[in-house]
Amino acid sequence: MPKECLSLPMSNHVTHHRLAARRPFLAFVIITLGAGAAIFGGCARAPQAPVRPEAPLLFPAAPLPARVQYLGAISSPQDLPRRRTGFAELVLGPEPLRYPLVKPIAAILVDTRLYVCDTVLNNVVVYDMVTGEARELKGNRGGGRLQEANNITTDEQGRFYVSDKKRQAVMIYGPDEVFIKALGRPGEALPVATAVRGEKLYVCDVKDHQIEIWNRDTGALLGTIGSQGAAPGQFHIPTQIALDGEGNIYVTDTFNFRVQKLSPDGRFLMQFGQHGDALGHFAFPKGMDVDRHGRVYVADARFDNVQIFNPTGQLLLFFGGPGRERGGLDLPAGLRVFPWPANVPWLTQRLAPGFAPESLVIAVSQKGDGLLNLYAVAATPGENP
């Protein structure tokens, strides 16, 4: 080993004997350091072929202007930023793989943390996209123990609302993830998704095929919207609910193959979609959200894609698609839209040159290799077809 790489001073006779006594340990350290230097940038570095990044995957395809970019997928902590350096892994070994996803159904982003409902793990898994930390929801114990986390949302105070289908309750946790209370009407309501505005907690009840309105603090029933049926304002398996900036209510009416828009007081306003395989039709609509412009994003679990509609229900474009190819979806169930998180390098470093994102879309596949699929959306996601 060259002298400039490692120098072992021996200033006196005592030092010499101490080093001699520790020679086996030093030999291990020297060998390890030498390996680390050779592999991870020490005095000598083996030539490496340049890593060529994959070409950006954009929707729609060229020559049309790019409106959506696929950024990548997350299925386990291995897909997150690495917390341990290459040299640390050489000496200490790789970190144990904890909390890999099995069958996620919904996810939200809060600051830099992904909160993921997994129906096989019966848990909410938390991934930090900056630190690489993976753990479970802190309040998932005792009275806050989850049995089948089906959906998750937050309110303006940072509290978490987890719809637990098996407990027939909405589990509420504080911004610190500490369990606060469970709200429900066991035997009378089966909550699968929620939205919050003010004191009102809007609940998709698949038992009675309606939207229930609860007091978010007491759980008292304030009112109901709709009933089972196919007429405007009726529902058949409402699976997702979202609110726009004006308080209007959007519901994925899954087995009626449509999305319905209701006023804040529950009056029917409009609907779009129908059963079929043409553009703008649905086969199994599930995940849905509304961005700040009133555009509606709908994930279809049979088409394996996401369709974007303008506020009047006209189709703008679609992205994703079936298969295991990059950017594809496999039985997507959850979908959420967030303002672009500029504080997450994992995302910003993947942007194509010149692509200016406004929103982040998280589409959750229940199967396949890529489970949490992340897409950037430009300010104007498309023109009417």
pLDDT tens sequence across 125-146:
999 999 999 999 999 999 999 9
The pairs formed by 153-157 with CB atoms below 8 angstroms and a separation of 24 or more are 153/108, 153/193, 153/194, 153/195, 153/196, 154/108, 154/110, 154/196, 155/196, 155/216, 156/196
Is the per-residue pLDDT at 256 higher than 90? yes
- On the question of pLDDT at 276 being above 50, the answer is yes
Kindly give the pairing relationship between strand 68-74 and strand 315-320: unpaired
36/87: higher pLDDT: 87
50-97: per-residue pLDDT in tens? 444 678 999 998 899 999 999 999 999 999 987 655 665 566 566 667
Please give the pLDDT value at position 90: 65
The residue whose two tokens read 């005095």 is: 43
Alpha-carbon distance of 320 to 155, in angstroms, equals: 29
Domain residue extents for the chain: 1-52
Query: Which pair of structure tokens corresponds to residue 7?
Result: 């120098």
- 137: its two tokens: 């929801």
Confidence of residue 42 (pLDDT cuts 50, 70, 90): very low
- Asked if the bond preceding 60 is cis, omega within 30° of 0, the reply is yes
Cβ atoms of residues 336 and 110 within 8 Å = no
The more confidently predicted of residues 383 and 72 is 72
Classify residue 303 by its DSSP letter: T
Q: What is the dihedral of CA 304, 357, 162, 105, to 10 degrees?
A: 20
Instruction: Quick: pLDDT tens for 338-380.
Output: 999 999 999 999 999 999 999 999 999 999 989 999 999 998 7
Distance in angstroms (rounded) separating the CA atoms of residues 139 and 211: 27
Q: Does 45 have pLDDT greater than 50?
A: no
| Whole-number pLDDT of residue 126 | 98
pLDDT band of 32, cuts 50, 70, 90: very low
Look at phi and psi of residue 314 and say left if phi exceeds 0, alpha if psi is from -120 to 50, else beta: beta
Separation CA 177–CA 163 (nearest Å)? 15
